[in-house]
Amino acid sequence: MLLHKVSLTEMMSRIHEPGYSPETVLDPYLERYRQLEPHIHAFVPEGEVEGRLDSEKALLQSIYSAEERKPALYGIPVAIKDLLHVDGLPTRAGSQLSAELLAGAQGSLVTKLRALGAVIAGKTVTEEFAYNGPIATRNPHNLAHTPGGSSAGSAAAVAAGLCPLAVGTQTLRSVIAPASFCGVVGFKPSYGRVPLDGVLLFSPSFDTIGFFTQNLPDMEAAAALLVPDWEAPAATIPRKPVLGIPKGVYMELMSAEVKGVFEANITGLKQLGYEIRDVQMPWEDELIYGNAMLRFIEGELAREHEDRFAEHRVEYGLPVQEAILRGQQIPEEELEQYRTRQRELRRDLMELMDQEGLDLWVSPAQGGTAPKIEERNTGWAGMPAVWGFAGVPTVTLPAATLEGLPLGFQCIGRYGEDETLLAWARQLWPHLADKQPLPAK
């Protein structure tokens, strides 16, 4: 295992201590980078990492005098998935297309990170255009296994302790799956909550920026800084949340081992006094088992790449080529039907939660642990995808280890109530978090 403990909140707490400087966190980061990155390949290769970081550090020190109060992330390294534009770094999106062809303006999230004093650790590896394709990244828990996709590098970087915070995106599973596989906390906010400017889009009706940290308190701190208009509860909600488990085919999308772990988690929560209800869901089995969501995202992918693909088709990997060609055959009327169903399901879920008196939905984050690299499978869409279709917020917590590989416990909240989701998750965290020790940083 190539794992080191890092804490965002601990780093933030040290910023105002006497003698603190960006070197306080950047020097250990570079040491871990030199030690671990050749094995994990979390980052897109970059010619002069140390020189660039020195320049970012010098810029920060020129802006903030020794006496001036430092911003919340002063000098802290944050990794950015290579779908987001970052001034000074090329965007390739895991593809063979030129950076010039994919260039775009830095978005508001990265600008905000820099205004908060963060140092961009680097661009992290993604599957091609967040869809599919070979990746070099390995799972820090076991290098023979995938870290998940498509936010592979972001999850692996945090799991290894290269940086305390990383940014990813999710269309169907791309935050929740790698977080589960790498044993970290992954948070996908409500659809539309974090602006998508500065992001190379895959499927605009799904795409959501998400975050990775090693623990839940760190995620709460990150969300408070980076999610617009965040209003966290002042204190822990003074009751236990009522949890809902989906009935039907959804809960068949997992291995027997994962089902056993989840049932043990649920039994433990019941013994602690949590009320848990099995609920018939307002979606059709076809939405879970069928091709509707795949057709939806491929139809939008084709439209996002229409102009580039027409001129540069041969530079696209075969899986993405085939997806775009399929998407071109999907009529706009069908896509509009899917968008209507999205809004309906979002409404239906909220009404059902009211009807059943639920605070959270819960399930495994993935149907299995991280597959081996040779299996060419970076995860399953089943457990997280339908919630992404509805646009509701989700968070996965490290909950167990099976044969040395992590497994996450997924919590799903009401649309737009991201703060409440993390507050409820804060209650569950001590009972679920897989507390296997990591080497000290």
Q: Which one from 81, 151, 188, 363 is the annotated catalytic residue?
A: 81
Instruction: Examine the residue annotation and report whether 123 is marked as an active-site residue of this protein.
Output: no
**DSSP track, 299-313:** HHHHHHTHHHHHHHG
Strand (E) positions, 335-441?
360-364, 394-402, 405-412
Strand (E) positions, 303-427?
360-364, 394-402, 405-412
Question: In this structure, what DSSP letter does residue 4 have?
Answer: -
Cβ–Cβ < 8 Å for 139, 182:
yes
DSSP 3-state of 354: helix
Instruction: Examine the residue annotation and report whether 7 is marked as an active-site residue of this protein.
Output: no
Rounded Cα gap, residues 362 and 412, in angstroms: 6
Q: Which one from 174, 180, 190, 205 is the annotated catalytic residue?
A: 174
Rounded Cα gap, residues 330 and 302, in angstroms: 9
| H-helix or E-strand spanning residue 170 | strand 165-170
Q: Which one from 70, 95, 150, 190 is the annotated catalytic residue?
A: 150
Sign of the Cα pseudo-torsion (54, 158, 187, 283, in order): positive
- Tokens 């897109």 belong to residue: 44
Question: In this structure, what DSSP letter does residue 361 have?
Answer: E
Nearest partner of 84 among 235, 211, 181, judged by Cα:
211
Rounded Cα gap, residues 357 and 225, in angstroms: 31
Q: Can you name the residues that pair with 62 across neighbouring β-strands?
A: none
Residues written for the chain: 441
Rounded Cα gap, residues 410 and 425, in angstroms: 10
Rounded Cα gap, residues 334 and 345, in angstroms: 17
Nearest partner of 78 among 193, 282, 225, judged by Cα:
225
Instruction: Examine the residue annotation and report whether 150 is marked as an active-site residue of this protein.
Output: yes
Residue 122 phi, psi (nearest 5): 155, 175
Sheet holding 77-81, edge to edge: 119-124, 77-81, 165-170, 208-213, 185-188, 394-402, 405-412, 360-364, 243-246, 276-279
Burial 57-66 (b: 16+ CB within 10 A, else e): beebeeebee
Q: Among the residues of 161-291, which ranges form H helices? A: 176-182, 216-226, 256-271, 285-289
Which residues are designated catalytic?
81, 150, 174
